[in-house]
Structure 1
Amino acid sequence: MKLWEIAHSRTGDKGNISNISLIAYDMKDFELIKEKVTPEKVKDFFKDIVKSEVVRYELPNVGALNFVMYDALGGGVTRSLSLDKHGKSLSSYILEMEI
């Protein structure tokens, strides 16, 4: 199953840090997402861009996980040569993760 089947996502950035949220469409799927989408799996999934740690924060009352990925935007908006300097497309990409 792909994450997009049970969740949606939003991203944000600050400097060279990307922030990705995963929000379950249905609260009954939150535990599955929490079990399957670990910081280690997210770091491995984004291994080509994340050069430092991934920290996960849980928001159980809203059925969401928030991942903060350090050193993930090629130096940040003013330094990156990436076409997506803010990392907005990362929210779509994480939804392709197989769980």
Structure 2
Amino acid sequence: MKLHDIAHARTGDKGDTSNISLIAYDPTHWPLIRDHITPQRVAAHFGSFAAENVTRFELPQLHALNFVIQGALTGGVTRSLALDAHGKCLGSVLLEMEVFLKT
């Protein structure tokens, strides 16, 4: 299944850094998200678009993870010619990641 089946995302930006929050729809999916969506998986998922550094913060009270991805916005809003200079589509890209529920 895709991550978007069990979570939603919200993005933000500051300069060349993207911030992606990943929030479980259902608290029962929080352990799966917490245990399997690592900074390494996020960097690999973005592939050649991967940034310099992916840092993960856990927010268990919100059943959420927050990823800070430095260098993801090719210069940032005022310096990039990218169509999505704010990186708003990055949350959707992350939600396409495959996850596997244990049966």
TM-score bracket for the superposition, by shorter chain length: over 0.9
Helix, strand or coil at the partner of 1:47: helix
Give 3-state SS (helix, strand or coil) of 2:48's partner.
Answer: coil
Alignment match, 2:2: 2
Q: Secondary structure at the match of 1:93?
A: helix
1:65-76 → structure 2 map (5 Å cutoff)? 65-76=65-76
**Structure 1 residue aligned with 2:48:** 48
Secondary structure of 2:91's aligned partner: helix
Moved more, 39-48 or 6-15: 39-48
Equivalences, count: 99
1:51 shift after superposition = 2.9
Provide runs of 4+ in structure 1 moved above 4 Å: none
* Structure 1: 5+ residue stretches without partners: none
Identity of aligned residues (%): 58
Q: TM-score, normalised by structure 2?
A: 0.92
- Whether 1:95 aligns to 2:83 is no
C-alpha deviations, 1:1-37, integer Å up to 9, x for none? Answer: 1101000000000000000010000111000011110
Hey, what does 1:24 align to over in structure 2? Answer: 24
Answer 1 or 2: which has greater helix percent: 2
Letter in 2 for 1:86: H
Q: Quick one: which amino acid aligns to residue 21 of structure 1?
A: S
Structure 2 portions without partners, runs of 5+: none
TM-score (norm 1): 0.96
Amino acid at match of 1:47: G
RMSD: 0.8
Q: How far did residue 81 of structure 1 move?
A: 1.7
